[in-house]
Amino acid sequence: MERVLDTFPRRQAPTGLYHSQEGEWDSNGEALWILRRYCELTGRPPKPEWRRSIERGARWIRRNRLPAEGEGLHAGLLPPGFSAEHLGPNNYYYWDDFWGIAGLHAASRLLPPARGDAAPSAFREEAERFRESVENSLAGVALRTGRPGMPASPYRRLDSGAVGSLSAGYPLQIFDPCDMRLLDTAEFLLSRCMVNGGFYQDIIHSGVNPYLTLHVAQVLLRAGDGRYRGLVRTVARLASPTGQWPEAVHPRTGGGCMGDGHHAWASAEWVLMIRNMFVREEGEHLVLASGIFPEWLEAEGPISFGPAPTSFGEVRVEILRRGRRAEVQWNGSWRGAPLRIGVRLPGFTAVDASAGQGSALLEPEAGP
């Protein structure tokens, strides 16, 4: 991973753009976010040779935003482009904007103290101004559509491209888990864009899409909505005999119909889904066991995960059934302990604990 990140500066254009393809404006936010995530998970500071690249990348986002005082629902957003390809023709895509906000926040965390417009505080303030522009745009869209759900662009109706707007919840956590804009977007996708239990993308990347199905599942997981389990089961069912997924699955044949035959993004999303079901960060807190399937607890002996890297250090989680109750144990090699550990095993009472506690015994939830 570090070897790949070392290549980022030389992939950067003189303008500061991390160049992917012409007309894609999400790449700078993604590059800066992944650099920050790498540093969080490893506990390492950014390399000195990355810092100039990070500063230039953040400045590109700031420089290329449209004027916030302009007219229209795109005021303050990034320019139109074709974004993540599967969203449709050129438009002002919220996917780009959410990644841009996250990239500016990442730069503010990665860069050392400095003066002037390269100071971490300057990028943090720019991120907040950017978010305010997006919030204003979404408020205008809600008036137009009559619901809080987020279309792909301020000038689109809700359609399957709205899946890109879920990035505000997963993976970026810009919005709180139960933000109505996130939940209503997910509700639209669940009601209108599902085929054979999976998310069907009917724009360009046509087919049942494993990794985007898991994006919906991740948003539901954060919100404590048990419907994520059905989506995870669907993606497991779509796996090839070699444990891989095509980029899109034909709804009739069950085989690949678009893109890569063994799609690395889909595999990565599967790993992240399983990881987050056992352990995930929520701001300065850690959440354990929130995605465990009830049938897993019926197996003989404990189930466990880890040690897995988190932004607080490595942690191992183990879950044991003790009669009607369940015990969740954790063992962390903390670099900086989380403010709180929330144990959220489905079907059992929620418990908040400290990092040093090490275990929690959970009572079953009372029936209706």
For residue 247, pLDDT beyond 80: yes
Q: Could you say which DSSP state residue 87 is in?
A: T
pLDDT given for residue 174 in this prediction: 98
pLDDT of residue 355: 87
CA distances from 58 to 11, 116, 170 (A): 15, 14, 21
Burial class for 69, CB neighbours closer than 10 Å (0-12, 13-18, 19+): exposed
pTM: 0.95
CB distance 356 to 337 below 8 Å: yes
Report the SS3 class of residue 286.
Answer: strand
Joined together, the tokens standing for residue 136 give 């204003």
Q: Give pLDDT tens digits for 47-73.
A: 999 999 999 999 999 999 999 998 899
257-269 as b/e: b if 16+ CB within 10 A: bbbeeebebbbeb
Give the per-residue pLDDT at 186: 98
